[in-house]
């Protein structure tokens, strides 16, 4: 079956432009996560969606970052007025139910490499 | 503050030997701990999950231990092979939330 799909795989943009990154989770997975991975750094949590519940936005680094999940499936991460420090790999993951306390494995996409010039 | 620490130095190991990686955590009380493998240009892939009441978990050549007193997990790859070369990440969640936090990962290089 299909895994988590992310697009584009690479995105080069100019400082100040807006970008949209897309994530298509595994069909039937109710939980969806966005992480950011900078060069040589660990995964930084950004946002978590679980079913119809209000998303956990506690990891978004600034108000330039936003995400939505339409129809409980596809998610879009939007970065407005991009800055050079936004350059990173943006990873999306999904899980079946969004288990409590880390009791459920995550399935990751291959990520979008964002480069802000 | 909460921390998940893994060795930043790559582990170079001869093929056939056992690789052992350490994950230490601070200011967490996880009920579960997970390990993932990440290859260059790819997202992490889940390997193993261990519960706080499990001392050890095995899957093929992989073994994980979880010591909640020491606040530490050990990850072992026995009979290592060049194909095991990758970065391995530990992950756990904070109390009452579903946000999996990850360590920075530990690179393993298996030398033929």
- Half-sphere exposure in the Cβ direction for A92 (13 Å, CA): 29
Average per-residue pLDDT in chain A?
Answer: 93
Test the A interface: residue of B24, B49, B100, B101 with most A CBs within 10 Å: B100
Please indicate whether, in this complex, the C-beta atoms of B30 and A101 are within 8 angstroms of each other: yes
Confidence band for A101, pLDDT divided at 50, 70 and 90: confident
Residues of chain B with pLDDT under 70: 96
Taking residues A86-94, report their average pLDDT.
Answer: 97
- Token duo for residue A38: 């900078």
Please indicate whether, in this complex, the C-beta atoms of A41 and B104 are within 8 angstroms of each other: yes
**Nearest-CA distance A71 → chain B (Å):** 21
Contacts of A41 in chain B (CB under 8 A): 104
B31 touches A at CB < 8 Å: yes
Taking residues A64-90, report their average pLDDT.
Answer: 95
User: What percentage of chain A exceeds 70 in pLDDT?
Assistant: 98
pLDDT value for A102: 81
Cα distances from B65 to residues B13, B54, B74, in angstroms, run 20, 8, 5
Confidence band for A1, pLDDT divided at 50, 70 and 90: low
The DSSP output letter for B78 is: S
Distance CA A77, CA A6 (A): 11
pLDDT value for B88: 98
B34 touches A at CB < 8 Å: yes
Neighbouring C-beta atoms of residue A5, cutoff 10 Å: 14
Q: Contact at 8 Å (CB) between A116 and A84?
A: yes
């Amino acid at each position: 079956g299909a895994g988590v799909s992310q697009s584009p795989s690479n995105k080069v943009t100019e400082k100040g432009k807006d970008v949209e990154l897309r994530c298509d989770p595994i069909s039937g997975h109710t939980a969806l996560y966005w992480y950011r991975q900078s060069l040589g750094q660990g995964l930084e949590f950004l946002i978590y969606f679980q079913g119809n519940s209000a998303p956990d936005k506690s990891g978004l680094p600034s108000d330039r970052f936003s995400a939505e999940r339409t129809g409980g499936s596809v998610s879009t991460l939007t970065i407005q007025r991009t800055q050079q420090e936004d350059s990173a790999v943006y990873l999306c993951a999904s899980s079946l139910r969004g288990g409590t306390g880390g009791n459920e494995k995550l399935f990751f996409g291959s990520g979008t490499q964002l480069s802000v010039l | 503050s909460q921390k998940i620490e893994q060795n930043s130095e790559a582990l170079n190991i001869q093929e056939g030997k056992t690789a052992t990686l350490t994950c230490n955590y601070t200011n967490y009380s996880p009920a579960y701990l997970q390990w993932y493998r990440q290859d260059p240009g790819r997202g992490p892939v889940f390997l193993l999950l261990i519960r706080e009441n499990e001392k050890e978990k095995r899957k093929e050549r992989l073994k994980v231990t979880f010591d909640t007193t020491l606040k530490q997990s050990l990850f072992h790859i026995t009979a290592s092979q060049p194909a095991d070369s990758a970065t391995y990440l530990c992950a756990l969640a904070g109390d009452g939330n579903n946000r999996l936090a990850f360590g920075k990962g530990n690179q393993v290089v298996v030398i033929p």
